[in-house]
Amino acid sequence: MDVILWIIIILLFLLSFLSLVFPIIPGTLAIWAGFLLFHFLLDNSELSGFFWTAMVVLTILLLVSDIIANSFFVKKYGGTKWGERSAAVGVIVGSFIIPPLGILIVPFVAVLIVEMLQQRSPQDAFRASIGSLFGFLSGSVAKIVVQLIMIIWFFIAI
């Protein structure tokens, strides 16, 4: 039974990385499901209070990193609030259209269209679209790093 639980835990950790390509998959929840399976079904004495507190902090960082990165880069490249919002919606919609490239193409096009509809010059709209692309990519890199830290910390703790 332990072997089956370990396989499930590892699959959940791997599933968390699929959330980078398919944002509709709750990657953070997959990591937590792995932690909780271990804690409640294998060994509830291994993970300390410090571990759980750190995981909560890292989870908050994971959830906020995407929003902050996207917002920062769209603003930095001259985008509007509507451009920021369309980038966020574009990532979600794009995960269903032409996966995995849709999460790059759809937000880019969405920001471009929204910025053009707001009477922005083509150059400004294109720059904001580039910002959405950089925001998504930097948010993804941040997620990879934080998820790896969480998973590696888990294995070190046990």
Whether residue 156 is predicted with pLDDT greater than 80 in this model: the reply is yes
DSSP letter string, 96-149: TSSTTTHHHHHHHHHHHHHHHHTT--HHHHHHHHHHHHHHHHHHHHHHHHHHHH
pLDDT score of 23: 75
Band of residue 67 on the pLDDT scale cut at 50, 70, 90: confident
Extract the tokens encoding 93. 């919609």
* Residue 144 φ/ψ region, left for φ over 0, alpha for ψ in the -120 to 50 degree band, beta for the rest: alpha
Per domain, the residue ranges of the chain are 2-157
Lowest mean pLDDT among 26-40, 72-86, 87-101, 137-151: 87-101
**112 vs 2, 119, 138, CA distance in Å?**
51, 11, 19
Grade residue 153 by pLDDT with cuts at 50, 70 and 90.
Answer: very high
The reported pLDDT for the residue numbered 103 is: 83
HSE toward the beta carbon, residue 131, CA cutoff 13 A: 30
pLDDT tens-digit readout, 11-29: 999 999 998 888 778 899 9
pTM for this entry: 0.83
Q: Is 93 a residue whose pLDDT tops 80?
A: yes
